[in-house]
Structure 1
Amino acid sequence: MKGFTHLEQEIQEWKAKGTFRPLTEIESSQGARVVINGKEVIQLSANNYLGLTTHPRLKSAALEAVEKYGAGTGSVRTIAGTFSMHEEYEQRLAKFKHTEAALVFQSGFTANVGVVASVLGENDVVISDELNHASIIDGIRLTKAKRRIYRHSDLVDLEKALQETQEARVRLVITDGVFSMDGDIALLPEIVELAEKYDALVMVDDAHASGVLGANGRGTVDHFGLHGRVHIQVGTLSKAIGVLGGYVAGPQVLKDYLIHRARPFLFSTSHPPAVTAACEAALDVLLQEPEVIDRLWENARFLKNGLSQLGFDIGESQTPITPVMIGDDALTMQFSDELFHEGVYAQGIVFPTVAKGKARIRTIVSAIHTQEDLELALQSFASVGKKLGVI
């Protein structure tokens, strides 16, 4: 169609570089193994950390909610779309997170954008880690606040930013709790100490820490024993929790403000009953079946050790996110394709998701992978790695 020539040219460039990829269609439920193009493969790319997407308690809760409340809510929360179940879940979530209040958004992305874009003004400054998630970056782009990006987990650069911005009304330091591409954990205790020293607020995005770190999966704040010292906690309900959505946990005044000013919350229909009920059931699993988190970490250690012993560079990961560093974009995508032929689905991650020269296969294990699954995956990595000269 006329007018899209520039888009077609760019797509052709991606194809020439070997980085263009159509969407992958999964023909089964999201489990340790999935069916793609009629072929069963080991799934190492999903965020389904605890296997809750198919947990019987979540499926049962979702079905019961549909029968009782219907398929949808028919409105945004601020008009006619707040059901009692929404309020009850947020109260339980706040108790779980040890905060005064919690507010659920349609996604983790909209939660970050909603907070950053609405709570800061032109007299404020946002100070953000350079490797923070894209949703934080987009939230910063939407705010009128000044911004300062500090080098990844560089406390010296962070302190410099705090020193240089002391005239601001509010300084908000934002960091991922677990960085989604490298799997490293934020230096949260040190960040909090610096923020307290310079009277700044702290916000943590726990998308990849919710359900993974801390007691019963409460996240990085609990992991480091920092309750009451981190002002805003953001997380998702669509990764370890296994369903859909995002949340903001913090003081009641923050929740009240976001209800009235966070545009993603104001202008999006509320979660369907099935989603809210399943999220509540997931909370029950975290509290009553904590052994599932132990299995996740056992599997993560097994895969990390295996990949390291094979000679792969797995970076500085401290979590179930384990990158296999390749470097070249085209080679990374070829590696991913070869893995699929071997029976492993592990997507390549290339620019612009990561910096140029930092392309990698990002693997994420789950609690429901068996040792046999992981042993077979390691065999495939060894075979492909030798074939392509990576190891």
Structure 2
Amino acid sequence: MFDLESRLLQQRESDLYRSRRIAESGSDVRMRIDGKDCLVFCSNDYLGLASHPDVKAAFISAANEHGVGSGAAHLVTGHHRAHHALEEELADFTGRERTLLFSTGYMANLAAVTALTDRHDEVFGDKLNHASLIDAARLSEARHIRYKHADDSALEQRLATSSAKDKLVITDGVFSMDGDIAPLPALSAACRRHNAWLMVDDAHGLGVLGRHGAGVLEHFAMHNNDAAVMVGTLGKAFGTFGAFVAGSESLIETLIQKARPYIYTTALPVAVAEATHASLKIIQTDSGRREHLHELIKYFCQGAAQLGLPLMPSATAIQPLLVGEAVRAVAMSENLLKQGILVSAIRPPTVPDGSSRLRITLTAAHTRKDVERLLTTLEVLV
């Protein structure tokens, strides 16, 4: 018999128990959580678009016209002209031949890896990849080979000893718990030398990095053939919901034919597609949001350095404050909440043992005064 109570007790005793907080207001930097007004520094709504009036208006208008559900999978009756138009717009934005919409970034990663590889192939993944990439490699049945975090030399060594005909390298663009950026030019060069494909999950770079917000590949001025597969999510900087895979015509057609998470899933609501169209337009025309965000990142990092706060090396909106033990990370998060500031404590197994942290995220909706308040409060706690 499954002794679930003992398992749960062990989670509690190890300070690894997870609890849900109840939000009583919409996604924003100021929210009411569990009955308490909070200044939020743990949202992935990097550009503050989830509550943008144009994005909300587009959603409401589409819901009024088309309803709130798509009714079926894309390959049945769920593929609306709004989905199709958004795919074309995202292809133009990312500079790819085509894109394909998915319900979540998790499903997009599962779809791409499992559709491209099988037990005869090898998948090479960064040791700090997101859980969805790790699970995708496992479900693919390909041999999963992990290399040292952000180490192109380690990847090169593993590729050099591979005898697999088809090899796929998978990596986060911006690592979600550390905030650092993968060395994509070096990884891509290693892939070219060993006839491997590179797949980049740009969940935390898209909309934020690059001159036009096209993500980590634009940040490095890389060409499309430098990374055959790109995955982007819409629930972070875009402020809506869902994800997409971008690549060649043949890649997208392969996913339509073979990707189970695409074939057997109900399509996104049309209202979400139309809201995303509105947010994409803002990303393309309002560079001020990105500029403000990057100014806040620099301001926070400078302030933290002056205070001697143990930030992990990151130049992105994800600014992890290394704490160490899970019990201390939880205590610090709770103490911040008592001061009206919400920051999540990140513990194993999400991060390695001994590296629990406060995962601080900055957004374009924050102000300098918000960041000053956070720094002042952290100075007392650390």
TM-score range, shorter chain: over 0.9
Write out aligned runs for 1:31-70 (5 A): 31-70=28-67
Partner of 2:291: 294
Residue identity opposite 1:172 in structure 2: L
Partner SS state of residue 107, structure 2: helix
Cα deviation per residue 1:20-45 (whole Å; 9 max; x = unaligned)?
A: 23201111111111111222111001
Q: Distance in 2 between matches of 1:58 and 1:381?
A: 34
Cα deviation per residue 1:196-248 (whole Å; 9 max; x = unaligned)?
A: 11121111010000111112210111111112221000010001111111110
Partner SS state of residue 366, structure 1: coil
Partner of 1:181: 177
Residue identity opposite 1:204 in structure 2: V
Q: Distance in 2 between matches of 1:72 and 1:333?
A: 38
Residue identity opposite 2:208 in structure 1: V
Partner of 2:343: 346
Partner of 1:271: 268
CA-CA distance at 1:19 after TM superposition: 3.1
Partner of 2:208: 212
Q: Distance in 1 between matches of 2:255 and 2:350?
A: 29
Out of 199, 202, 211, the residue aligned to residue 198 of structure 2 is: 202
Q: Distance in 2 between matches of 1:287 and 1:170?
A: 36
Partner of 1:107: 104
Partner of 2:135: 138
1:235 aligns with 2:223: no
User: CA distance change for structure 1 residues 34 and 78 in 2, over 3 Å: closer, same or farther?
Assistant: same
CA-CA distance at 1:56 after TM superposition: 0.8
CA contact (8 A) 1:108 1:235 kept: yes
Partner of 1:316: 313
CA contact (8 A) 2:347 2:355 kept: yes
Residue identity opposite 2:248 in structure 1: P
Q: Distance in 1 between matches of 2:116 and 2:12?
A: 41
Partner SS state of residue 258, structure 1: helix
Q: May I ask how many residue pairs the two structures share in their alignment?
A: 381
CA contact (8 A) 1:177 1:204 kept: yes
1:257 aligns with 2:280: no
TM-score by length of 1: 0.95
1:171 aligns with 2:183: no
CA contact (8 A) 1:94 1:101 kept: yes
CA-CA distance at 1:184 after TM superposition: 0.4
CA contact (8 A) 1:195 1:202 kept: yes
Q: Which range is displaced more, 223-232 or 45-54?
A: 223-232
Out of 240, 245, 248, the residue aligned to residue 245 of structure 2 is: 248
TM-score by length of 2: 0.98
Identical amino acids, percent of aligned pairs? 37
Q: Distance in 1 between matches of 2:351 and 2:165?
A: 33
CA-CA distance at 1:55 after TM superposition: 0.5
CA-CA distance at 1:296 after TM superposition: 0.9
Partner of 1:388: none
Partner of 2:25: 28
CA contact (8 A) 1:103 1:248 kept: yes
Residue identity opposite 1:141 in structure 2: R
- Over 4 Å off, 4+ runs: none
1:75 aligns with 2:69: no
Partner of 2:151: 154
